[in-house]
Chains A and B, each alone.
Chain A
Amino acid sequence: MSFVVNGMQHDATPQPGQCLRTFLRELGWFGVKKGCDAGDCGACTVHLDGKPVHSCLVPAFRAEGLEVTTIEGLGVDGLHPMQQAFLDAQGFQCGFCTAGMVMTAACLDQAQRQDLPAALKGNLCRCTGYRAIADAIAGHKHADGAGSSGGRNVPAPAGPAVVSGKARYTMDVAPDGPLQGLLHMKILRSPHASARIVAIDASAALALPGVIAVLTHEDAPQKHFSTARHEHVTDDVDDTLVLDPIIRFAGQRVAAIVAVSEAVAEAARDLVEVSYELLPAVFDPEEAMRPGAPVIHDKPVSSRIANASRNIVAELHGETGDVEAGFAEADLVHEATYQSQRVQHAHLETHGAIGWLGGDGRLHVRTSSQTPFLTRDALCTLFNMPKDKVRVFSERVGGGFGGKQEMITEDIVALAVLTTGRPVKLEFTRSEQFSASTSRHPMRVTVKLGVRRDGTLTALSMRMVSNTGAYGNHGPGVLFHAAGEAIALYRCANKKVDGYAVYTNTLPSGAFRGYGLSQTIFAVESAMDEAAHKLGIDPFAFRRLNVVRAEDPIVAADHVAHDLSFGSYGLDQCLDLVERDLNGAPKPKLSGDWLTGRGMAVAMIATIPPRGHRAESRIRLTTEGTYELAVGTAEFGNGTTTVHAQIAATMLGATPAQIRIRQSDTDHIAHDTGAYGSTGTVVAGAATGRAAEALAEAICTFAAAHSGVDRATCRLVDGDVMAGERRISLVELAEAAMAKGVALSGIGHSDGSSRSIAFNVQGFEVAVHRRQGEIRILRSIHAADAGFVINPMQCRGQVEGGVAQALGAALYEQMLIDAEGKVANPTFRGYHIPSFADTPVTTVHFAATSDSIGPLGAKSMSESPYNPVAAALANAICAATGVRLRETPFTADRLYRLVLDEDGRNALRRSEARDAVEPPFQAQEHAVAVPGE
């Protein structure tokens, strides 16, 4: 058969059931992405005879005789105007959805451009919150290419490659060179939530032509580890095997089939016969903690599991002051339980890795990871290999949100490579992403507040029960983090926290944007709002009375972190900015069917995770007079690469365009903990700043010697060196240095200690339909204290994306676990993430602060905008309707009954509804002498 793609003829014949997406990729058109492979996300959009289609749904044979255009062929002479528009507005973050977004936008007629919510409903973006995409289509220009440095809207270095489909993500490599003879892996997963594998018969599978290996627990190392990646491996429990004969959740690996194609691997997978002995399962964390519950991990103390016999992976008990005394002196005691559900990261690039043995005799792993260095270290430990024999790298990563602070593909790929000696690829399907990767920790949080009638907090206690699922990856870390800033935010002499991270037979929870704080902040900020309303105090005023101030110690329930301090303090500004904007506008005028209200919530976050987060940056002057900067940070839409360039450029008196960055490759530098915990700017960026500073010093010192002038007269100016009165080009200087055998380079390190505090305040104005329960967000206002904002355009994007992602969790998203413990909705059709139509424009304000700790005065701002959103929305809904929602997500089909009930319009329905009004986790309120009651 003959196909014309981007004007080029290909003679090739697809498989009968092959879709156009994979066929185009086989032909080398890697701009065609896989987000869902099911027609829901639009990342694979191409044009067929000029019409946009989702190529994952098009039978490949049907493209014969039609003109196929992919992102690579969209521009006739250079970039298509829509590609240029996305570049000008920087309408992307990770960029994985961008090719499909551009291919769709390029086809819209003027009527469709007037109605982007409908026109773009077939294109999902998880990073941006869509505002930047709307701006691109509307022709706004935000990128400021001329700017030199910190504080400017410098565009992402990868922008031109992203909009033209040339940026290479994990799977965008052809099977040649070292990947010649690439094998494909499919994983047989358990249908049972709790079982013991009695026997695996792979003979029929192995007999299938093209099957190379079937790996089972008998082939895997017998070493326990954690899929979670942390600087200190002892932060997590050792409870996981690459392949385990004990099954602890439906979806767990049973066997890995390695074959010459995905099709053969899939067919062989269905031929593997497994006999299971079914074991009792437990799905609820409270039940799992009860005596007599099935023990999920029968493991020794050396595993670091806190209490294996009670399924408690970690627990936490802390008290400062005397909470009982504090509650005794309160005029109002409010106590209620708040529940946060299980949600998926839904980064558009699924997990995947490609491994091979290089000609250098080393194991190479190309992967979609936030932590290539820590994954390298884990592989070395697992397979007993020295660090110099393993290379792990990420080229460009299609979104992370914490989901890729985990080793869930690299270990099995490495095992297959080491077993077969051949290159092996594993790419998760979207369904595997939902049912067999990780999620946010579902959490039940009971908050008890004691307040005096003047609004002073007298006591604050919190009990957390976190469902860590079948494995303990990130269970302890999330629990401890969740217990921190949510209550350290408030100055209160008496605080107490009890927390449990509990095993259940459900898929493992893991790192997720906010790392526990989104769940506890939902609880605490909802409770604060409830208390404020009972006391008749304005929520902003109530916060001002009680929030921690710049001169206060930072105290959670039990300890003071000695390396944590206010390098800057902008919460007061954030409160003022949101209050002024939210309450400054007149009340909206809507028909009588709509109830309106306003709500707010506060979030605080330490700019760096505790106990060490390390980075190294290396920079050198090249003989072309440019700088080559090597950093560990992976780029997955965080924008950190741009910030590295800006920091280095600032230190070197250069422009970001002069800085070429090589990143996220264990061959480039010695160590980098990774891009998690919002550290890309504040840790790795600090290392880059130091490296660039060292290089500037080396250049000036050499220039002084080279010109025979005093060092003090030398400085870097506009890409040249001034040595006294003489202007020397960097090319000349670099050549001179080379001639003398002097390396002009710098190395910088950062250990992540000395941490500052960032703040976020979110406000919403909402309307709720009084009979139908529909929630409409009328206004979304966010203020962020990010210190000095190095790149306002990008930082705004991080806030907008965080708010949008959090709105998904607050309004729509919920991973449903069925009676057998399986994920019941493992597709985007069943798991709705916000589309363009669902995402309001968020007004973003920045506090004017500059941090004494972070690089160039900056603070982190990537996870934290997520954290106050659910509570602010619940508080606004309550202000509108009087209905207090204590369980996310807030959906019309639950809310309508409660609103109707409050409204008293339908007596019949009200009596029916009474049972449903009560939240499932009994809320208790003890009102004692409340003013006005």
Chain B
Amino acid sequence: MTNLKPANTTPVADAAAADPAAPAARARSGWRSLLPTMTPWLAIGLVLVAGIGLFGLLGPLFVGDPQQIRDQGLTPPSAEFWLGTTQTGQDVLAQLAYATRGSLQIGLLVGVLATVLSAFFGIYGAYRGKFLDDAFSLFTNVFLVIPGLPLVIVISGFVPRESRGLWTIAVVLAVTGWAASARVLHAQTLSVRQRDYVAASQVSGERPWRVIVVEILPNLLPVIASQFVFAVIAAILGEAGLSYIGLGASNSATLGTMLFYAQNGFALSLGAWWWFVPPGLMIALFGMGLSLVNFSIDEVINPKLKNLRQHRKRARRALRLERDLAQRARRTPVKETDR
């Protein structure tokens, strides 16, 4: 009896000691298949996202007070104020740093909330199937066709301004923005649910939540990641729109509120482009960076797309080769006639 335990464990320990690299390498390649391949576009995306993220995170530490009013109103970009000043002489760069932080904050918050909602309705519904699935699907589709922003505007319109905090706006944006990704997750879960190992774990008596979390969820990770990225973009855009029309969270500073003040300060008719261009550009570049990252995540989800990219690369190379050959062919006859 006392012998049993060591006898059982030795082979495993031996194998690990004999070739420590083998399982580690296998594990790494398993994880690597979940990571996207590096492409120039992915690199651009990562640089954009990381750059803007760092600017939002660290920028506020290096700039002055964004609210400080000076008597140099509406000066164009200069050495002192890199992005000029607003009508009341506030430093646009300082405002931009704080606003970026605010927008990223709400983007992440809504991204997480919306992903949780969509995972619940998409995955749980598809896993349980039958009536619950039909009900959840109907619910999702209904939310999908009801236009989101008008609904958000109406809800925010009814909430009194004092009680319109960051969380209120985040919840409203999440509640109106989860449906599309729930549908994607639903379709993916349906296909994962059919696989044998899921059936095996069900037969062996695993509880439903364990089957979902341990067997199904890891296979959906890339899809969830991609949907999360989409949710963050949508949230930042939605919040910007809401703040721009003055319905954002009270006493918050986001890129949308910056544009709101620029509009109300007649930046457009005064020609103060340095006031209203940077905030929107920041949103657009961050959104572009996230979409580019998403392209690469999509390749992980759908390996066909990766083949596609390689096919494209080959096609490009073939095209170049053809052109070279044609050129050479053209050159050769010329030489022959010369002779």
Answer yes or no: are A and B bound together in one complex: no
B interface residues (Cβ-Cβ under 8 A, vs A): none
A interface residues (Cβ-Cβ under 8 A, vs B): none
